Structure 1
Amino acid sequence: MRNTLVLNAGYEPLSTVSLQRAVVLVLQDKAVVEQAHPVRVMRGTGVELPVPRVIRLRRYVRVPFRQRAAWSRRGVLARDQHRCAYCGRRATTVDHLVPRSRGGADSWLNTVAACAEDNQRKADRTPEQAGMAVLRQPFEPTPEASLMLALGLRRTDAGEWAGWLPLSA
Protein backbone atom coordinates (compact mmCIF):
# COMPACT_ATOMS: atom_id res chain seq x y z
CA MET A 1 0.00 0.00 0.00
CA ARG A 2 1.10 3.54 -0.69
CA ASN A 3 2.59 5.75 2.00
CA THR A 4 0.70 8.47 3.84
CA LEU A 5 1.65 12.12 3.39
CA VAL A 6 2.52 13.91 6.65
CA LEU A 7 1.81 17.64 6.94
CA ASN A 8 3.16 19.93 9.62
CA ALA A 9 0.67 21.73 11.88
CA GLY A 10 0.82 24.65 9.41
CA TYR A 11 -0.10 22.34 6.48
CA GLU A 12 3.41 22.25 4.96
CA PRO A 13 4.35 18.81 3.58
CA LEU A 14 7.08 17.17 5.69
CA SER A 15 7.47 13.59 4.48
CA THR A 16 5.68 10.33 3.98
CA VAL A 17 5.25 7.49 6.46
CA SER A 18 3.96 3.96 6.23
CA LEU A 19 0.27 3.33 6.77
CA GLN A 20 1.06 1.64 10.08
CA ARG A 21 3.04 4.67 11.34
CA ALA A 22 0.25 7.03 10.24
CA VAL A 23 -2.34 5.02 12.16
CA VAL A 24 -0.15 5.00 15.28
CA LEU A 25 0.27 8.80 15.09
CA VAL A 26 -3.50 9.26 14.79
CA LEU A 27 -4.32 6.81 17.57
CA GLN A 28 -1.75 8.47 19.86
CA ASP A 29 -3.53 11.78 19.13
CA LYS A 30 -0.32 13.25 17.65
CA ALA A 31 -1.94 13.71 14.24
CA VAL A 32 -5.36 14.14 12.66
CA VAL A 33 -6.59 12.64 9.41
CA GLU A 34 -6.95 15.39 6.80
CA GLN A 35 -7.80 13.11 3.89
CA ALA A 36 -8.89 9.50 4.07
CA HIS A 37 -9.57 6.75 1.57
CA PRO A 38 -13.23 7.08 0.54
CA VAL A 39 -14.08 3.41 1.13
CA ARG A 40 -11.34 1.61 3.06
CA VAL A 41 -11.50 1.42 6.84
CA MET A 42 -9.14 -0.11 9.41
CA ARG A 43 -10.81 -1.93 12.28
CA GLY A 44 -9.41 -3.04 15.58
CA THR A 45 -10.76 -3.90 19.00
CA GLY A 46 -13.13 -1.06 19.74
CA VAL A 47 -11.60 1.17 17.05
CA GLU A 48 -12.63 1.99 13.51
CA LEU A 49 -10.46 4.40 11.53
CA PRO A 50 -10.65 5.45 7.87
CA VAL A 51 -7.44 4.59 6.00
CA PRO A 52 -5.45 7.87 6.08
CA ARG A 53 -3.97 9.27 2.88
CA VAL A 54 -2.92 12.62 4.40
CA ILE A 55 -2.37 13.34 8.09
CA ARG A 56 -1.50 16.62 9.85
CA LEU A 57 0.58 16.81 13.00
CA ARG A 58 -1.17 18.52 15.92
CA ARG A 59 2.02 20.22 17.13
CA TYR A 60 4.30 22.24 14.88
CA VAL A 61 7.65 20.60 14.11
CA ARG A 62 10.39 23.14 13.44
CA VAL A 63 12.22 22.34 10.21
CA PRO A 64 15.33 24.35 9.42
CA PHE A 65 14.93 26.41 6.25
CA ARG A 66 17.08 25.24 3.38
CA GLN A 67 18.00 27.59 0.57
CA ARG A 68 19.60 24.70 -1.28
CA ALA A 69 18.54 21.11 -1.71
CA ALA A 70 20.77 18.62 0.10
CA TRP A 71 22.65 16.32 -2.29
CA SER A 72 22.10 12.58 -2.06
CA ARG A 73 22.65 9.56 -4.30
CA ARG A 74 18.96 8.73 -4.06
CA GLY A 75 18.10 12.30 -5.01
CA VAL A 76 20.35 12.16 -8.11
CA LEU A 77 18.70 8.92 -9.25
CA ALA A 78 15.25 10.42 -8.70
CA ARG A 79 16.21 13.71 -10.42
CA ASP A 80 17.37 11.76 -13.48
CA GLN A 81 14.30 9.49 -13.29
CA HIS A 82 16.54 6.42 -12.91
CA ARG A 83 17.77 6.82 -16.50
CA CYS A 84 21.43 6.56 -17.46
CA ALA A 85 22.88 9.91 -18.55
CA TYR A 86 25.03 8.14 -21.16
CA CYS A 87 22.75 5.57 -22.83
CA GLY A 88 19.24 6.19 -21.45
CA ARG A 89 18.79 2.69 -19.99
CA ARG A 90 17.80 2.02 -16.37
CA ALA A 91 20.32 3.57 -13.98
CA THR A 92 21.34 1.90 -10.75
CA THR A 93 24.42 3.92 -9.76
CA VAL A 94 25.61 7.51 -9.58
CA ASP A 95 28.59 8.64 -11.66
CA HIS A 96 30.81 11.63 -10.97
CA LEU A 97 31.53 13.68 -14.11
CA VAL A 98 34.82 14.76 -12.57
CA PRO A 99 35.86 11.65 -10.59
CA ARG A 100 36.28 12.01 -6.85
CA SER A 101 39.86 10.81 -7.18
CA ARG A 102 40.53 13.91 -9.30
CA GLY A 103 38.90 16.33 -6.88
CA GLY A 104 35.31 15.98 -8.05
CA ALA A 105 32.71 16.70 -5.41
CA ASP A 106 29.50 14.99 -4.36
CA SER A 107 27.30 17.73 -5.81
CA TRP A 108 24.20 18.07 -7.97
CA LEU A 109 26.20 19.52 -10.88
CA ASN A 110 28.97 16.90 -10.78
CA THR A 111 26.85 13.75 -10.57
CA VAL A 112 24.50 11.93 -12.93
CA ALA A 113 22.59 8.68 -12.82
CA ALA A 114 24.32 5.88 -14.73
CA CYS A 115 23.91 2.21 -15.50
CA ALA A 116 26.63 -0.01 -14.01
CA GLU A 117 28.03 -0.85 -17.44
CA ASP A 118 28.58 2.79 -18.48
CA ASN A 119 29.87 3.70 -15.02
CA GLN A 120 32.54 1.00 -15.31
CA ARG A 121 33.33 1.92 -18.94
CA LYS A 122 33.88 5.56 -17.99
CA ALA A 123 35.96 4.48 -15.00
CA ASP A 124 38.28 7.13 -13.53
CA ARG A 125 37.97 9.57 -16.44
CA THR A 126 35.83 12.51 -17.45
CA PRO A 127 33.14 11.84 -20.08
CA GLU A 128 35.26 13.66 -22.69
CA GLN A 129 38.32 11.51 -21.94
CA ALA A 130 36.18 8.37 -22.17
CA GLY A 131 34.57 9.52 -25.43
CA MET A 132 31.09 9.41 -23.88
CA ALA A 133 28.40 12.04 -24.43
CA VAL A 134 26.13 13.13 -21.58
CA LEU A 135 22.51 13.04 -22.83
CA ARG A 136 21.13 15.37 -20.11
CA GLN A 137 23.12 17.98 -18.26
CA PRO A 138 22.87 17.77 -14.46
CA PHE A 139 21.08 20.54 -12.57
CA GLU A 140 20.46 21.49 -8.96
CA PRO A 141 16.80 21.07 -7.99
CA THR A 142 15.06 23.72 -5.91
CA PRO A 143 14.24 22.82 -2.27
CA GLU A 144 10.58 22.37 -3.31
CA ALA A 145 11.54 20.06 -6.16
CA SER A 146 13.82 18.09 -3.85
CA LEU A 147 10.87 17.56 -1.51
CA MET A 148 8.94 16.12 -4.44
CA LEU A 149 11.95 13.93 -5.29
CA ALA A 150 12.18 12.76 -1.69
CA LEU A 151 8.50 11.85 -1.80
CA GLY A 152 9.16 9.95 -5.00
CA LEU A 153 6.86 12.18 -7.04
CA ARG A 154 7.02 14.27 -10.15
CA ARG A 155 4.92 17.36 -10.73
CA THR A 156 2.58 15.39 -13.01
CA ASP A 157 1.90 12.42 -10.74
CA ALA A 158 1.11 13.96 -7.38
CA GLY A 159 -2.32 12.35 -7.77
CA GLU A 160 -4.18 11.95 -4.49
CA TRP A 161 -1.90 14.49 -2.76
CA ALA A 162 -2.33 17.17 -5.45
CA GLY A 163 -3.98 19.73 -3.18
CA TRP A 164 -1.39 19.32 -0.44
CA LEU A 165 1.89 19.71 -2.36
CA PRO A 166 3.46 23.04 -3.37
CA LEU A 167 4.34 22.11 -6.98
CA SER A 168 1.11 20.39 -7.90
CA ALA A 169 -0.97 23.51 -8.40
Structure 2
Amino acid sequence: MRTLVLNAGYEPLAIVSFKRALVLVMNDKATVIEHVEGEPVWGTRSSYDRPAVIILTRYVRVPSTRRTPVTRRGVLRRDGFRCGYCGASATTIDHVLPRSRGGADSWENLVACCLTCNNVKSDRTPQEMGWSLRFALGAPRGGSWAVRGSERGDPRWEPYLALAA
Protein backbone atom coordinates (compact mmCIF):
# COMPACT_ATOMS: atom_id res chain seq x y z
CA MET A 1 0.00 0.00 0.00
CA ARG A 2 1.29 3.46 -0.94
CA THR A 3 0.55 6.96 0.29
CA LEU A 4 0.56 10.32 -1.48
CA VAL A 5 2.57 13.00 0.35
CA LEU A 6 1.52 16.63 -0.08
CA ASN A 7 3.61 19.65 0.81
CA ALA A 8 2.16 22.11 3.33
CA GLY A 9 0.88 24.11 0.32
CA TYR A 10 -1.06 21.05 -0.96
CA GLU A 11 1.22 20.40 -3.96
CA PRO A 12 2.09 16.72 -4.47
CA LEU A 13 5.64 15.83 -3.45
CA ALA A 14 6.05 12.07 -3.54
CA ILE A 15 4.52 8.67 -3.13
CA VAL A 16 5.88 6.74 -0.17
CA SER A 17 5.24 3.39 1.42
CA PHE A 18 2.48 3.07 3.97
CA LYS A 19 5.09 2.44 6.68
CA ARG A 20 7.03 5.63 5.86
CA ALA A 21 3.80 7.64 5.89
CA LEU A 22 2.82 6.22 9.25
CA VAL A 23 6.22 7.13 10.72
CA LEU A 24 5.77 10.73 9.50
CA VAL A 25 2.31 10.87 11.11
CA MET A 26 3.49 9.29 14.39
CA ASN A 27 6.36 11.81 14.63
CA ASP A 28 3.92 14.71 14.05
CA LYS A 29 5.63 15.67 10.80
CA ALA A 30 2.47 15.00 8.78
CA THR A 31 -1.28 14.79 9.17
CA VAL A 32 -3.63 12.26 7.56
CA ILE A 33 -6.19 13.98 5.32
CA GLU A 34 -7.49 10.86 3.50
CA HIS A 35 -7.50 7.40 5.02
CA VAL A 36 -8.53 3.86 4.14
CA GLU A 37 -11.88 3.13 5.77
CA GLY A 38 -12.12 0.33 8.30
CA GLU A 39 -8.43 -0.57 8.39
CA PRO A 40 -6.84 1.13 11.41
CA VAL A 41 -3.27 0.45 12.45
CA TRP A 42 -2.92 -0.50 16.09
CA GLY A 43 0.07 0.77 18.03
CA THR A 44 1.06 0.09 21.62
CA ARG A 45 -0.71 3.19 22.92
CA SER A 46 -3.36 4.03 20.34
CA SER A 47 -4.69 3.31 16.86
CA TYR A 48 -4.02 5.32 13.71
CA ASP A 49 -5.98 5.68 10.50
CA ARG A 50 -4.27 3.89 7.60
CA PRO A 51 -3.10 6.88 5.50
CA ALA A 52 -3.95 7.25 1.81
CA VAL A 53 -3.00 10.96 1.58
CA ILE A 54 -0.93 12.91 4.11
CA ILE A 55 0.09 16.56 4.29
CA LEU A 56 3.35 17.75 5.81
CA THR A 57 3.06 20.11 8.77
CA ARG A 58 6.01 22.23 7.56
CA TYR A 59 6.65 23.48 4.03
CA VAL A 60 9.52 21.78 2.15
CA ARG A 61 11.20 23.85 -0.57
CA VAL A 62 11.47 21.95 -3.85
CA PRO A 63 13.92 23.06 -6.56
CA SER A 64 12.02 24.66 -9.45
CA THR A 65 14.30 23.04 -12.03
CA ARG A 66 12.64 19.68 -11.45
CA ARG A 67 12.20 18.27 -14.95
CA THR A 68 10.42 15.07 -15.95
CA PRO A 69 13.00 12.60 -17.32
CA VAL A 70 12.49 11.31 -20.86
CA THR A 71 11.66 7.60 -20.88
CA ARG A 72 10.11 5.20 -23.38
CA ARG A 73 7.21 4.53 -21.02
CA GLY A 74 6.73 8.27 -20.47
CA VAL A 75 6.54 9.03 -24.20
CA LEU A 76 3.99 6.24 -24.72
CA ARG A 77 1.94 7.47 -21.78
CA ARG A 78 2.10 11.13 -22.88
CA ASP A 79 0.78 10.16 -26.34
CA GLY A 80 -1.94 7.91 -24.96
CA PHE A 81 -0.34 4.76 -26.43
CA ARG A 82 -1.44 5.97 -29.90
CA CYS A 83 0.78 6.34 -32.99
CA GLY A 84 1.62 9.98 -33.68
CA TYR A 85 1.46 9.35 -37.43
CA CYS A 86 -1.57 7.06 -38.05
CA GLY A 87 -3.38 6.88 -34.70
CA ALA A 88 -3.09 3.09 -34.34
CA SER A 89 -2.03 1.40 -31.11
CA ALA A 90 1.60 2.33 -30.39
CA THR A 91 4.16 -0.10 -29.02
CA THR A 92 7.41 1.68 -29.92
CA ILE A 93 8.79 5.21 -29.99
CA ASP A 94 10.25 7.08 -32.96
CA HIS A 95 12.67 9.97 -33.33
CA VAL A 96 10.97 12.63 -35.49
CA LEU A 97 14.42 13.82 -36.57
CA PRO A 98 16.34 10.53 -36.74
CA ARG A 99 19.34 10.04 -34.45
CA SER A 100 21.46 9.36 -37.54
CA ARG A 101 20.84 13.01 -38.48
CA GLY A 102 21.50 14.45 -35.05
CA GLY A 103 18.06 14.01 -33.48
CA ALA A 104 18.09 14.14 -29.69
CA ASP A 105 16.36 11.99 -27.09
CA SER A 106 14.03 14.78 -25.97
CA TRP A 107 10.31 15.23 -25.37
CA GLU A 108 10.17 17.47 -28.46
CA ASN A 109 11.77 14.84 -30.77
CA LEU A 110 10.20 11.57 -29.57
CA VAL A 111 6.74 10.32 -30.48
CA ALA A 112 4.81 7.11 -29.79
CA CYS A 113 4.68 5.02 -32.94
CA CYS A 114 3.21 1.77 -34.23
CA LEU A 115 5.63 -0.83 -35.52
CA THR A 116 4.44 -0.46 -39.13
CA CYS A 117 4.97 3.32 -39.27
CA ASN A 118 8.31 3.01 -37.48
CA ASN A 119 9.59 0.49 -40.06
CA VAL A 120 8.23 2.39 -43.08
CA LYS A 121 9.61 5.75 -41.90
CA SER A 122 13.06 4.29 -41.20
CA ASP A 123 15.67 7.08 -41.01
CA ARG A 124 13.67 9.77 -42.81
CA THR A 125 11.81 12.77 -41.47
CA PRO A 126 7.99 12.98 -41.57
CA GLN A 127 8.26 15.82 -44.12
CA GLU A 128 10.25 13.56 -46.49
CA MET A 129 7.52 10.93 -46.14
CA GLY A 130 4.71 13.45 -46.65
CA TRP A 131 3.42 12.68 -43.14
CA SER A 132 2.37 15.02 -40.37
CA LEU A 133 2.11 14.56 -36.64
CA ARG A 134 -1.35 14.23 -35.14
CA PHE A 135 -0.44 16.42 -32.13
CA ALA A 136 2.21 18.85 -30.92
CA LEU A 137 5.16 17.36 -29.03
CA GLY A 138 6.49 18.69 -25.74
CA ALA A 139 7.29 17.84 -22.15
CA PRO A 140 4.27 16.64 -20.18
CA ARG A 141 2.83 18.90 -17.49
CA GLY A 142 0.67 18.42 -14.43
CA GLY A 143 0.72 16.91 -10.99
CA SER A 144 0.51 13.34 -12.19
CA TRP A 145 3.82 13.83 -14.03
CA ALA A 146 5.54 15.65 -11.17
CA VAL A 147 5.03 12.71 -8.83
CA ARG A 148 6.63 9.49 -9.99
CA GLY A 149 4.35 6.47 -9.72
CA SER A 150 1.08 8.39 -9.59
CA GLU A 151 -0.19 6.91 -12.87
CA ARG A 152 -1.02 3.70 -10.97
CA GLY A 153 -2.49 5.56 -8.06
CA ASP A 154 -5.32 5.42 -5.63
CA PRO A 155 -8.59 7.11 -6.72
CA ARG A 156 -8.42 9.19 -3.51
CA TRP A 157 -5.30 10.93 -4.89
CA GLU A 158 -6.98 12.39 -8.00
CA PRO A 159 -8.35 15.62 -6.43
CA TYR A 160 -4.89 16.46 -5.07
CA LEU A 161 -3.06 15.64 -8.30
CA ALA A 162 -5.61 17.70 -10.28
CA LEU A 163 -4.78 20.76 -8.15
CA ALA A 164 -1.17 20.63 -9.39
CA ALA A 165 -2.11 20.35 -13.07
TM-score, normalised via structure 1 length: 0.70
Task: Give unmatched runs, 5+ long, in structure 2.
Answer: none
Give the 3 Å change call, closer, same or farther, for CA 22–102 of structure 1 in structure 2: same
Corresponding residue for residue 51 of structure 2: 52
Task: Report how far residue 37 of structure 1 moved.
Answer: 1.9
Instruction: Please show how residues 45-124 of structure 1 align to structure 2 within 5 Å.
Output: 48-66=47-65, 69-73=67-71, 74-124=73-123
Corresponding residue for residue 8 of structure 2: 9
Task: Report how far residue 43 of structure 1 moved.
Answer: 3.8
Task: Report how far residue 160 of structure 1 moved.
Answer: 1.9
Corresponding residue for residue 161 of structure 2: 165
Q: Secondary structure at 2:25's aligned position in 1?
A: helix
Give the 3 Å change call, closer, same or farther, for CA 164–103 of structure 1 in structure 2: same
Mean Cα deviation higher: 136-145 or 6-15: 136-145
- Opposite residue 85 of structure 2, the aligned amino acid is Y
Q: Distance in 2 between matches of 1:41 and 1:23?
A: 11
Count of residue pairs the alignment pairs up = 164
Q: Distance in 2 between matches of 1:121 and 1:22?
A: 49
Q: Secondary structure at 1:38's aligned position in 2?
A: strand
Kindly, what percent of the aligned residue pairs are identical? 48
Task: Report how far residue 28 of structure 1 moved.
Answer: 4.7
**Is contact 2:6–2:14 with CA below 8 Å preserved after alignment?**
yes
Query: Larger Rg: 1 or 2?
Result: 2
**Is contact 1:71–1:106 with CA below 8 Å preserved after alignment?**
no
Instruction: Please show how residues 28-47 of structure 1 align to structure 2 within 5 Å.
Output: 28-43=27-42
Q: Distance in 2 between matches of 1:11 and 1:168?
A: 8
**Is contact 1:4–1:55 with CA below 8 Å preserved after alignment?**
yes
Task: Report how far residue 121 of structure 1 moved.
Answer: 4.1
RMSD of the alignment, in Å? Answer: 3.5
Q: Deviations over 1:87-121 (max 9, x none)?
A: 43443433210012211122222111224554344
- Opposite residue 161 of structure 2, the aligned amino acid is L
Higher relative contact order (CA 8 A, sep 6+): 2
TM-score, normalised via structure 2 length: 0.71
Corresponding residue for residue 135 of structure 1: 134
Q: Secondary structure at 1:152's aligned position in 2?
A: helix
Task: Give unmatched runs, 5+ long, in structure 1.
Answer: none
Task: Report how far residue 35 of structure 1 moved.
Answer: 1.5
